[in-house]
Structure 1
Amino acid sequence: MSTNADIEILNELRELTKDKENWKANIDDVALKLNYDYSADVKAKVLWLLGEMGLKYPEEIECHVKDIASYLEDNDPKLRERSANAIGRIGRADNDLVIVYMDKLMKLKDDESFNVRHAFIWACENIATSNPDLFCDKLDIFYEMISDSEDKVRIEAPEMFRVIGKTRPNCVKHYLKKLEYFAENDENRIVRIHSAGAIRITKKALEQ
């Protein structure tokens, strides 16, 4: 349960989230909150905000990435989820800042929390936007996740093929027939739509 102090800080963070013009000046103060004994709710909000700040100001976030990444192994699934989100956004801006933490991020593919597994895919999509080559030899992971036990994860997994297929279609070419099966037969409509979208984007890129 959040204390009154936590509630006050959450309100401050929500206001700062909307005040993007002051993000750069407040990065250090926000990051400092990770080192205090605040509730998981506060730290989750801090991690999310730092990720968005890092997307906009990667140079200023660099000194805080280690602290952010430490939560990839936290006992609280919400904090693992938000840490993955943040690493993804920071990596989208500058993948060099997160390369050293990729092994820890990749372990989240097997996390017991489906929200963490979903965040893992989303983070990888973000990083792949700026460096798709990091994932060309890892696409089996995302193909297997289309058959995850949770629909939220299954819906997101084909999106990784869309992201990679847009700029590295030859990496996805091998998976087109497999994706066609999901696009035509999966019981979940969104999985079918996302699989079809990945196929369409990849084929378009192959033709160019």
Structure 2
Amino acid sequence: MPESSENDAEALTIRDMLWQGRYEDVANIVKTQEDTFQVIECLNDTDLMTRKSAAHALVIIGIKHPNFVIPYLKRLLQYPSRNVLSNVIFIVGKLGTQMPEEIEPIIPDLIALIDDKHWNIKMSAIAALGDIGMADSEIVLSAVPKLIDALSDSHNQVAVAAANALSKICPVGVNWTNETVDALHDLLRDNDPWIKCDALDTITRIAEENVEPVLKELDAIVAMLADENLSVREKAIDAIGIIARQKPETILAAKDGFFDILVNDTAFVKIKCINIISSVLSVNPDAIRSLIPPVIAALADQNQELQNSARTFLFNVASTKPEFLNEFQGTLAALKADDILDAMRQGR
């Protein structure tokens, strides 16, 4: 079979290549503004693959040749077609993560789309703002009030996008109010595990700035320790960990959930729990005393990282509260935990 020649490839139009999904090849052959206009025109193509490929190609072109793409984005964000607009928002979001300063002049146009009548456009604009905010939160600060309002949007997809964006932006100094947490109330109880995950991300970020408003949702967060979805459980543990660092007494509300996790969950999730109770040990040791038996059992686990986490925690218990381990000395001896037993003797 004869090999395809370069002339065959050159015979293909930019539109043909985008239709084939070859957006990287298109980005590599674009050398002029005129070439870029051909790609931009494909954003309004009738074919879905062609439109999406054009958007991906324009991201690459925009990074290589910002002047070929960025000056036209503001006008494109006014385009009436949702097919075009959703892809332009995608381009703005991706370029914003790479070159936020160049994108900054069109941030107000992106923020305005949070009020669009179409929920999918709102969701896309919010997601793009969150992505840009991860690169440079300062340039999207003015979006925060609208993002907070969007937490109460009637479409859960919009609300969860807002929660996710806020968790990415959430800059120091933003006044997270009780009303913001109230807006997350329903998302934390949604049946969709991914909506709950994004709501937990935002709750965690809020707690890092101001834990007080989050305490009203502590029961809901603790309940998610028993969620059937692994990601939800992990996010709930992360949230409780942040809360407990500032309010160690709150670990009492989570200890039953932690106990079940330390007995029944995956090694990775158990390690997360052990790390949290370790951080509470020095300030509220009585709160975690009931969790010692399943941690001791972890010394026999096949997962070496879990063993190490359990051993470190128990060594610290032995050094500071040796009486907590008195009834388990036989078990520790059987597990050959001599370092922990030695620490107990020295701690007395």
8 A Cα contact 1:74 1:80, kept in partner:
yes
Query: Cα 1:131–1:100, aligned 2, differ >3 Å: closer, same or farther?
Result: same
Query: Per-residue deviation at 1:124?
Result: 0.5
Cα distance in structure 1, aligned partners of 2:100 and 2:246:
30
What amino acid sits opposite 2:72 in the alignment? D
Query: Cα 1:56–1:23, aligned 2, differ >3 Å: closer, same or farther?
Result: farther
**Which of 197, 201, 206 is the equivalent residue of 2:238?**
197
Q: Deviations over 1:16-73 (max 9, x none)?
A: 3345732644322234321233x31321121122122223322222221121112111
Query: Per-residue deviation at 1:133?
Result: 3.4
Query: Per-residue deviation at 1:15?
Result: 1.6
Cα distance in structure 2, aligned partners of 1:54 and 1:45:
14
Say if 2:157 is the partner of 1:115: yes
Which structure carries more relative contact order (alpha carbon 8 Å, separation 6+)? Answer: 1
**1:26-45 → structure 2 map (5 Å cutoff):** 26-37=69-80, 39-45=81-87
What amino acid sits opposite 1:194 in the alignment? K
Say if 2:204 is the partner of 1:133: no
What amino acid sits opposite 2:172 in the alignment? N
What amino acid sits opposite 1:59 in the alignment? E
Say if 2:114 is the partner of 1:78: no
**1:23-62 → structure 2 map (5 Å cutoff):** 24-25=66-67, 26-37=69-80, 39-62=81-104
What amino acid sits opposite 2:58 in the alignment? L
Q: Deviations over 1:143-165 (max 9, x none)?
A: 44201354432232111133344
**1:89-100 → structure 2 map (5 Å cutoff):** 89-100=131-142
8 A Cα contact 1:71 1:83, kept in partner:
yes
Cα distance in structure 2, aligned partners of 1:112 and 1:173:
23
What amino acid sits opposite 2:85 in the alignment? K
Say if 2:162 is the partner of 1:162: no
Larger radius of gyration: 2
Cα distance in structure 2, aligned partners of 1:154 and 1:34:
31
Query: Per-residue deviation at 1:184?
Result: 3.2
8 A Cα contact 1:88 1:124, kept in partner:
yes
Query: Per-residue deviation at 1:93?
Result: 3.7
Gaps of 5+ in 1: none
- Give secondary structure in 2 for the equivalent of 1:110: coil
- Give secondary structure in 1 for the equivalent of 2:77: helix
Query: Per-residue deviation at 1:126?
Result: 1.2
Query: Cα 1:169–1:200, aligned 2, differ >3 Å: closer, same or farther?
Result: farther
* Structure 1 residue aligned with 2:225: 184
Query: Cα 1:155–1:170, aligned 2, differ >3 Å: closer, same or farther?
Result: closer
Q: Deviations over 1:122-145 (max 9, x none)?
A: 1111111x3363436433333442
8 A Cα contact 1:73 1:80, kept in partner:
yes
Query: Cα 1:122–1:174, aligned 2, differ >3 Å: closer, same or farther?
Result: same
Query: Cα 1:36–1:170, aligned 2, differ >3 Å: closer, same or farther?
Result: closer
Query: Cα 1:173–1:117, aligned 2, differ >3 Å: closer, same or farther?
Result: closer
8 A Cα contact 1:88 1:123, kept in partner:
yes
Q: So what's the TM-score if we normalise by structure 2? A: 0.50
Of 28-37 and 76-85, more deviation after overlay is shown by 28-37
- Give secondary structure in 2 for the equivalent of 1:111: coil
Could you say what the CA RMSD is over the residues aligned between the two structures, in angstroms?
3.2
What amino acid sits opposite 1:111 in the alignment? D
Gaps of 5+ in 2: 1-43, 248-278, 281-348
Of 176-185 and 76-85, more deviation after overlay is shown by 176-185
Q: Deviations over 1:67-96 (max 9, x none)?
A: 111211112111000111122233334444
- Give secondary structure in 2 for the equivalent of 1:112: coil
Query: Cα 1:132–1:142, aligned 2, differ >3 Å: closer, same or farther?
Result: farther
